[in-house]
Amino acid sequence: MTLPARYYTDPEIFRKELERFYFNRWICAGRSSAIPNPGDYFLCELANESVIVTRDNAGDIRAFYNVCRHRGSRMCEEQEGSLPGKRITCPYHAWSYGLDGALIGAPHAERPGFSRADYPLKPVRAEHWEGNVFLHFGTPTETVAELLARVATKFANWRMSDLKMHRRIVYDVKANWKLIVLNYNECLHCPFVHPELNPLTDYLGADNEEPNSTYIGGVMFLRNGAETMSFGGSRSGRAFLPGLTEEQRTWAGFYAIYPNLLLAPHPDYLLTHTLWPKAADRTEIVCELHFPPEEMAKPKFYADDAGNFWDLINRQDWHIAELSQAGISSRAYVPGPYTKREELLRAFDQDVLAIDGE
């Protein structure tokens, strides 16, 4: 049976889930290719937090709370960019910090008794995995590499680290973040919700992995001669990803990596969604399509057939998720029966209950 309504509507449960699912697990912050050089940065914003994700001089990814140790001001404002002089400088009184977070300068503060070593930026743990940057606001017991070893192996041929973002679309959806995950993990709705997607793939033909506590997912086979997921199923001249086997060119993966990364390797691109819960009934969703840079460099490179396709499919999903959110908020709602085709959803619900301590 589906979960009781309060898991989708109660602000207190939402607050707890945010702490347990998001602030106490690895979350996906974005792509490492966005910050190729030392001093490049992007901001990752979760709930009230803003984190500066940057690359240090050794090439390692570092992350710090965007909070000056002097009077608490936010320092970086632009969503992404390059830090002038490879320093993080507060715009208020010009305290400045190195790429390792150390306080370097504090004008007029340095008198006897003041030690710069007492005021480094507060760090957030960061890890690079297959081209993605993961952050952990708490203390992880395992690395991302350990948690996602099987996924890395399965999709090694996709060489996800080599891919670059071609297009980003951001959505503001009036639904609980878990309804997005539930919707992602069954295609039983595809014939009714996605008339453009349904001909390309057999909605009953998913090959799902045994669910585990880190992710749920599986693959869906293409059909009717479709070469990829796009309008009409055409690759529009794009090559398959270079490392794929013949068999790997015949399906797409759909993995919900808890809590916020939806990872979908396709024959000629990588599709990602990251979820950013805003309230019990509101989620920001960032959808990105990633291609090989050599493909994007071709003069005739064209990918709107895939980008616009997913924009359409996304909107269909968000709309039905919003209808679910509205209906579940009713006093008439009671948990309903999952079918056999919704087994991944049941697994996710069990994890939610476990994480929520229930």
Residues in contact with a copy of itself by the rule CB under 8 A: 2, 5, 48-50, 65-75, 77, 91-94, 107-109, 111, 114, 119, 122, 182, 188-189, 191-193, 320, 323-324, 326-334, 336-337, 339-341
User: CA neighbours within 13 Å on the CB side: how many for 123?
Assistant: 14
DSSP string, 191-208: HHH-TTTGGGEEEEEEEE
Peptide bond into 259 cis (omega under 30): yes
Residue 141, burial from CB neighbour count under 10 angstroms (0-12, 13-18, 19+): exposed
Residues in the chain: 358
Task: Report the residue number, 67 or 263, with the smaller CB distance to a copy of itself.
Answer: 67
Task: Report the residue number, 11 or 225, with the smaller CB distance to a copy of itself.
Answer: 11
| Residues 6 or more apart whose Cβ sits within 8 Å of residue 24 | 137, 138
To the nearest whole angstrom, how small is the minimum distance from the Cβ of residue 205 to a copy of itself?
Answer: 13
Residue 322, burial from CB neighbour count under 10 angstroms (0-12, 13-18, 19+): middle
CA-angle at 62, arms to 58 and 66, nearest 5°:
140
To the nearest whole angstrom, how small is the minimum distance from the Cβ of residue 12 to a copy of itself?
Answer: 16
To the nearest whole angstrom, how small is the minimum distance from the Cβ of residue 39 to a copy of itself?
Answer: 20
Cβ–Cβ < 8 Å for 175, 281: yes
Task: Report the residue number, 129 or 184, with the smaller CB distance to a copy of itself.
Answer: 184
Cβ–Cβ < 8 Å for 220, 202: yes
To the nearest whole angstrom, how small is the minimum distance from the Cβ of residue 270 to a copy of itself?
Answer: 28
To the nearest whole angstrom, how small is the minimum distance from the Cβ of residue 188 to a copy of itself?
Answer: 6
Q: What is the dihedral of CA 43, 86, 131, 266, to 10 degrees?
A: 60
Residue 172, burial from CB neighbour count under 10 angstroms (0-12, 13-18, 19+): exposed
Beta bridge partners of 56: none
Task: Report the residue number, 187 or 226, with the smaller CB distance to a copy of itself.
Answer: 187
To the nearest whole angstrom, how small is the minimum distance from the Cβ of residue 77 to a copy of itself?
Answer: 7
To the nearest whole angstrom, how small is the minimum distance from the Cβ of residue 343 to a copy of itself?
Answer: 12
Task: Report the residue number, 94 or 239, with the smaller CB distance to a copy of itself.
Answer: 94
Task: Report the residue number, 69 or 164, with the smaller CB distance to a copy of itself.
Answer: 69
To the nearest whole angstrom, how small is the minimum distance from the Cβ of residue 267 to a copy of itself?
Answer: 28
Rounded to whole angstroms, how far apart are CA atoms 281 and 214? 24
62-97 as b/e: b if 16+ CB within 10 A: bbbbbbbbbeeeebbeeeeeebeebebbbeeeebbb
Task: Report the residue number, 123 or 243, with the smaller CB distance to a copy of itself.
Answer: 123
Task: Report the residue number, 119 or 158, with the smaller CB distance to a copy of itself.
Answer: 119
To the nearest whole angstrom, how small is the minimum distance from the Cβ of residue 333 to a copy of itself?
Answer: 5
Task: Report the residue number, 119 or 155, with the smaller CB distance to a copy of itself.
Answer: 119
